Amino acid sequence: MNETALFKLSYGVYICTSWDEGKPVGCVANSAMQITSSPATVAVSINKNNYTHKCIEDCGHFALTVLAEDSDPKLIGTFGFRTSKEYDKFASAPYTVRGKLPVLDGGMAYLSCKVVSKMETATHTVFLGEVEDCDHLRAGKPMTYAYYHDVLKGKTSANAPTTVAAAPEKKQKVYVCEICGYEFTGDFDSLPGDWVCPICGVGKEHFSAK
Protein backbone atom coordinates (compact mmCIF):
# COMPACT_ATOMS: atom_id res chain seq x y z
CA MET A 1 0.00 0.00 0.00
CA ASN A 2 1.34 3.42 -0.96
CA GLU A 3 -0.05 5.76 1.69
CA THR A 4 1.17 8.83 -0.17
CA ALA A 5 -1.91 8.40 -2.38
CA LEU A 6 -3.82 9.85 0.61
CA PHE A 7 -1.98 13.13 0.08
CA LYS A 8 -3.96 13.57 -3.13
CA LEU A 9 -7.23 14.17 -1.27
CA SER A 10 -8.23 17.83 -0.89
CA TYR A 11 -9.41 19.59 2.27
CA GLY A 12 -10.40 22.98 3.59
CA VAL A 13 -9.48 24.63 6.86
CA TYR A 14 -12.25 25.33 9.34
CA ILE A 15 -12.68 26.26 12.98
CA CYS A 16 -15.21 23.91 14.56
CA THR A 17 -16.86 25.54 17.56
CA SER A 18 -19.37 24.63 20.24
CA TRP A 19 -20.35 25.59 23.79
CA ASP A 20 -18.97 24.41 27.12
CA GLU A 21 -21.75 25.39 29.51
CA GLY A 22 -22.01 28.86 28.01
CA LYS A 23 -18.30 29.25 27.27
CA PRO A 24 -17.20 29.10 23.61
CA VAL A 25 -14.80 26.30 22.65
CA GLY A 26 -13.32 25.31 19.32
CA CYS A 27 -10.62 23.54 17.38
CA VAL A 28 -9.28 23.38 13.84
CA ALA A 29 -10.97 20.87 11.54
CA ASN A 30 -9.82 20.08 8.05
CA SER A 31 -12.05 17.07 7.37
CA ALA A 32 -15.46 18.62 6.76
CA MET A 33 -17.81 18.23 3.84
CA GLN A 34 -21.38 18.53 2.73
CA ILE A 35 -23.20 15.19 2.72
CA THR A 36 -26.72 16.05 1.51
CA SER A 37 -28.47 19.17 0.25
CA SER A 38 -32.03 18.58 1.45
CA PRO A 39 -31.92 18.88 4.34
CA ALA A 40 -28.46 20.47 4.13
CA THR A 41 -26.22 18.18 6.16
CA VAL A 42 -22.47 18.30 6.73
CA ALA A 43 -19.96 15.93 8.32
CA VAL A 44 -16.95 16.87 10.41
CA SER A 45 -14.30 14.56 11.87
CA ILE A 46 -13.10 15.50 15.36
CA ASN A 47 -10.40 13.78 17.42
CA LYS A 48 -11.74 12.25 20.62
CA ASN A 49 -8.82 13.80 22.54
CA ASN A 50 -9.95 17.32 21.65
CA TYR A 51 -11.83 19.09 24.42
CA THR A 52 -14.19 20.43 21.76
CA HIS A 53 -15.21 16.82 21.00
CA LYS A 54 -16.66 16.40 24.49
CA CYS A 55 -18.42 19.75 24.23
CA ILE A 56 -20.09 18.87 20.90
CA GLU A 57 -21.29 15.60 22.45
CA ASP A 58 -22.72 17.42 25.48
CA CYS A 59 -24.22 20.37 23.62
CA GLY A 60 -25.43 18.58 20.49
CA HIS A 61 -24.51 21.50 18.25
CA PHE A 62 -21.45 22.71 16.39
CA ALA A 63 -20.56 25.45 13.94
CA LEU A 64 -17.97 25.56 11.20
CA THR A 65 -16.26 28.86 10.47
CA VAL A 66 -14.77 28.74 6.97
CA LEU A 67 -11.36 30.41 6.92
CA ALA A 68 -10.18 32.43 3.94
CA GLU A 69 -6.68 32.45 2.47
CA ASP A 70 -6.15 35.85 4.06
CA SER A 71 -7.63 34.93 7.45
CA ASP A 72 -5.08 35.46 10.24
CA PRO A 73 -3.00 32.25 10.43
CA LYS A 74 -2.78 32.82 14.19
CA LEU A 75 -6.36 31.52 14.30
CA ILE A 76 -4.99 28.15 13.21
CA GLY A 77 -2.17 28.32 15.74
CA THR A 78 -4.55 29.21 18.55
CA PHE A 79 -7.32 26.77 17.68
CA GLY A 80 -5.13 23.95 16.35
CA PHE A 81 -2.35 23.76 18.89
CA ARG A 82 -3.86 24.70 22.23
CA THR A 83 -6.66 23.18 24.28
CA SER A 84 -9.91 24.94 25.18
CA LYS A 85 -9.73 23.15 28.53
CA GLU A 86 -6.84 25.28 29.79
CA TYR A 87 -6.75 28.21 27.43
CA ASP A 88 -9.38 30.76 26.42
CA LYS A 89 -8.85 30.64 22.68
CA PHE A 90 -11.48 33.32 22.16
CA ALA A 91 -9.61 35.92 24.25
CA SER A 92 -7.53 36.79 21.19
CA ALA A 93 -10.06 35.73 18.54
CA PRO A 94 -13.20 37.89 18.28
CA TYR A 95 -16.40 35.98 17.64
CA THR A 96 -20.10 36.63 17.18
CA VAL A 97 -22.95 34.30 18.09
CA ARG A 98 -24.64 33.34 14.82
CA GLY A 99 -27.28 30.66 14.58
CA LYS A 100 -26.89 30.23 18.37
CA LEU A 101 -23.23 29.24 18.04
CA PRO A 102 -19.89 31.08 18.31
CA VAL A 103 -18.53 32.01 14.88
CA LEU A 104 -15.07 33.53 14.39
CA ASP A 105 -15.20 37.06 12.96
CA GLY A 106 -12.02 36.29 11.02
CA GLY A 107 -13.73 33.72 8.79
CA MET A 108 -15.51 34.20 5.48
CA ALA A 109 -18.60 32.01 6.00
CA TYR A 110 -20.22 29.86 8.65
CA LEU A 111 -22.51 26.87 9.05
CA SER A 112 -24.36 26.37 12.31
CA CYS A 113 -25.46 22.75 12.83
CA LYS A 114 -27.45 20.40 15.02
CA VAL A 115 -25.90 16.95 15.51
CA VAL A 116 -28.26 14.40 13.95
CA SER A 117 -25.98 11.36 13.86
CA LYS A 118 -22.41 10.29 14.40
CA MET A 119 -19.99 7.55 13.45
CA GLU A 120 -17.21 6.33 15.70
CA THR A 121 -13.72 5.37 14.57
CA ALA A 122 -10.81 4.37 16.78
CA THR A 123 -9.54 7.93 17.16
CA HIS A 124 -12.19 10.26 15.73
CA THR A 125 -15.94 10.81 15.76
CA VAL A 126 -17.57 11.88 12.53
CA PHE A 127 -20.45 14.16 13.52
CA LEU A 128 -23.28 14.63 11.04
CA GLY A 129 -24.84 18.03 11.42
CA GLU A 130 -28.04 19.37 9.94
CA VAL A 131 -27.42 22.97 8.96
CA GLU A 132 -29.76 25.25 10.90
CA ASP A 133 -28.21 28.53 9.85
CA CYS A 134 -25.46 29.59 7.44
CA ASP A 135 -24.26 32.71 5.66
CA HIS A 136 -21.31 34.49 4.12
CA LEU A 137 -19.31 36.85 6.34
CA ARG A 138 -17.27 38.53 3.62
CA ALA A 139 -15.74 37.92 0.20
CA GLY A 140 -12.62 35.80 -0.08
CA LYS A 141 -11.07 32.60 -1.32
CA PRO A 142 -11.65 29.64 1.00
CA MET A 143 -8.41 28.45 2.54
CA THR A 144 -7.44 24.95 1.50
CA TYR A 145 -5.28 22.59 3.50
CA ALA A 146 -2.75 22.66 0.65
CA TYR A 147 -2.58 26.48 0.82
CA TYR A 148 -2.00 26.34 4.56
CA HIS A 149 0.89 23.91 4.14
CA ASP A 150 2.43 25.10 0.89
CA VAL A 151 2.01 28.87 1.12
CA LEU A 152 1.74 29.59 4.84
CA LYS A 153 4.19 26.75 5.69
CA GLY A 154 1.85 25.62 8.44
CA LYS A 155 2.17 22.36 10.33
CA THR A 156 -0.35 19.72 11.36
CA SER A 157 -1.58 19.10 14.89
CA ALA A 158 -1.05 15.58 16.23
CA ASN A 159 -4.84 15.32 16.54
CA ALA A 160 -5.55 15.92 12.85
CA PRO A 161 -7.37 13.08 11.07
CA THR A 162 -5.24 13.24 7.92
CA THR A 163 -1.77 12.23 6.84
CA VAL A 164 0.46 14.95 5.46
CA ALA A 165 3.43 14.66 3.13
CA ALA A 166 6.79 15.36 4.76
CA ALA A 167 8.37 18.67 3.79
CA PRO A 168 11.25 18.43 1.34
CA GLU A 169 14.71 18.51 2.88
CA LYS A 170 16.15 21.95 3.34
CA LYS A 171 19.81 22.87 3.32
CA GLN A 172 19.33 26.18 5.13
CA LYS A 173 19.18 26.30 8.91
CA VAL A 174 15.66 25.73 10.21
CA TYR A 175 14.16 27.03 13.45
CA VAL A 176 11.10 25.34 14.86
CA CYS A 177 8.31 26.85 16.99
CA GLU A 178 7.89 24.69 20.08
CA ILE A 179 4.19 25.62 20.33
CA CYS A 180 2.83 25.01 16.84
CA GLY A 181 5.69 23.40 14.90
CA TYR A 182 6.00 26.24 12.37
CA GLU A 183 9.42 26.12 10.72
CA PHE A 184 11.33 29.30 9.90
CA THR A 185 14.06 28.88 7.32
CA GLY A 186 16.72 31.56 6.91
CA ASP A 187 18.58 34.13 8.99
CA PHE A 188 16.76 33.78 12.29
CA ASP A 189 19.21 36.03 14.20
CA SER A 190 18.49 39.01 11.96
CA LEU A 191 14.74 38.94 12.74
CA PRO A 192 13.63 41.89 14.91
CA GLY A 193 13.27 41.27 18.64
CA ASP A 194 9.50 41.69 18.50
CA TRP A 195 9.07 39.16 15.67
CA VAL A 196 6.43 36.54 16.45
CA CYS A 197 5.50 33.16 15.03
CA PRO A 198 3.12 33.83 12.10
CA ILE A 199 1.01 30.83 13.04
CA CYS A 200 0.62 30.88 16.82
CA GLY A 201 1.98 34.30 17.78
CA VAL A 202 4.66 33.38 20.36
CA GLY A 203 8.00 35.21 20.46
CA LYS A 204 11.45 34.19 19.20
CA GLU A 205 12.33 32.66 22.57
CA HIS A 206 10.00 29.77 21.77
CA PHE A 207 12.02 28.78 18.70
CA SER A 208 14.96 26.42 18.63
CA ALA A 209 17.27 25.25 15.86
CA LYS A 210 16.23 22.00 14.24
Residues 103-132 that bind Fe ion (CB under 5 A): none
Burial 73-101 (b: 16+ CB within 10 A, else e): bbbbbbbbbbebeeeebbeebebeebbeb
**What is the C-alpha separation between 82 and 88, in angstroms, rounded?**
9
Phi, psi of 189 (to 5 degrees): -65, -25
Q: No. of H helices and E strands in the chain?
A: 3, 12
Q: How far is the CB of 202 from Fe ion (least distance, A)?
A: 5
Under 8 Å CB-to-CB from 101, ≥6 apart: which residues?
17, 18, 19, 61, 62, 63, 112
Q: How far is the CB of 199 from Fe ion (least distance, A)?
A: 5
Q: Which is nearer to Fe ion, 135 or 150 (CB)?
A: 150
Q: Which is nearer to Fe ion, 12 or 154 (CB)?
A: 154
Q: Which is nearer to Fe ion, 7 or 195 (CB)?
A: 195
Residues 169-208 that bind Fe ion (CB under 5 A): 177, 179-180, 182, 197, 199-200
One DSSP character per residue, 95-116 reads EEEETTEEEETTSSEEEEEEEE
Q: How far is the CB of 179 from Fe ion (least distance, A)?
A: 4
Q: How far is the CB of 208 from Fe ion (least distance, A)?
A: 12
Q: Which is nearer to Fe ion, 145 or 175 (CB)?
A: 175
Q: Is 4 helix (H, G, I), strand (E, B) or coil?
A: helix
Identity at 40, one-letter amino acid code: A
Q: Is the bond into 161 cis (omega within 30 degrees of 0)?
A: no
Q: How far is the CB of 147 from Fe ion (least distance, A)?
A: 18
Q: Residue 28 interacts with Fe ion (CB under 5 A)?
A: no
Q: Which is nearer to Fe ion, 11 or 207 (CB)?
A: 207
Q: How far is the CB of 74 from Fe ion (least distance, A)?
A: 9
Q: Which is nearer to Fe ion, 40 or 179 (CB)?
A: 179
Query: Interface with Fe ion by CB under 5 A: which residues?
Result: 177, 179-180, 182, 197, 199-200
